[in-house]
Amino acid sequence: MHPNAVRQEALDLIATGLNDCEVARLLGLPRTTVRDWRRPTYQARTASEICPRCWRAVRRRITFTDSDYAELLGLYLGDGHIVRTGRSDRLRVFLDARYVEIVSDLHALLRRCFPGSGVGLGRSAKGTTAIVSLYCTHLACLFPQHGPGRKHDRTIELEGWQRAIVERQPWPFLRGLIRSDGCVFVNRTGRYEYVSYDFTNHSADILRLFADACDIVGVQYRAYAKRIRIYRRGSVALMLRHVGLKA
């Protein structure tokens, strides 16, 4: 470790136009030390390089807005799956390949949230399912609902920091859930027809989270054993404005 005064003297000599070898000879320093001072490779860690849950350093940047996290949480709870692979975690979200816009939006969402990681896009053997995937060592931190087995066979509860985000951004959370395990359809009853929303999930806990978000934004719904329906005109209008059609 060299004194700061020596480093500053080297930088002053560099500023005069001397090359690394000349500065090193004048100050009696290794050339590689002068090179590193000229083009520093070390940068102090910023908040974006710290896991927002476990506070440990991350090798690749993670950056969330509340809106992006809420939507990604909804997509994960609906059709996401995390597995441990060696020293990293892998997130895969399974979507209907017919919904090209949804697949593209999720790909862009993951690239925004994990700008230092590659986002994969594949298809199932039959080509009907699009699989958007990502590797990150902190996925189990960011989605603590991860666990062995199927989601509907274990308790799904949000941690306090997750609940706070969903309460601030309920619409993106609902959009993520609808885009994964929901649908929008035209309900026909006799000579009447009207747009309706349906969210289906085998987990009573996830259905409750969907209903809680609806309560926050004032959307009326009818709950069944494994689904929630939204068909009242005012509530459908709200969903159309903030969640959109599934396309």
Judge: domain 66-242, CATH 3.10.28.10: yes
Residue 216 has pLDDT above 90, yes or no: yes
pTM of the model: 0.77
For residue 117, name the pLDDT band (cuts at 50, 70, 90).
confident
Rounded to whole angstroms, the Cα distance separating 142 from 84 reads 14
Cα dihedral across residues 112, 114, 117, 123: positive or negative: negative
Task: Assess whether pLDDT exceeds 90 at residue 110.
Answer: yes
Q: Is 169 exposed, middle or buried (0-12, 13-18, 19+ CB in 10 A)?
A: buried
Whole-angstrom distance, CA of residue 33 vs CA of residue 23: 10
pLDDT at 126 over 90: no
Is residue 209 scored above 50 in pLDDT? Answer: yes
Position 50 scores a pLDDT of: 66
Q: What is the DSSP letter of 57?
A: B
Model confidence pLDDT, tens digit, residues 132-157:
999 988 898 899 998 888 888 899 99
What mean pLDDT do residues 93-101 have? 94
Task: Give the tens place of pLDDT for each residue, 153-195.
Answer: 899 999 999 999 999 999 999 999 999 999 999 988 778 888 9
Long-range CB pairs of 96-102 (<8 Å, 24+ gap) are 96/128, 96/129, 96/130, 97/123, 97/124, 97/127, 97/128, 97/129, 97/130, 98/128, 99/179, 99/246, 99/247, 101/247, 102/179, 102/246, 102/247
Portion of the chain with pLDDT greater than 90, in percent: 55
The residue extents of the domains of the chain are 4-38, 66-242
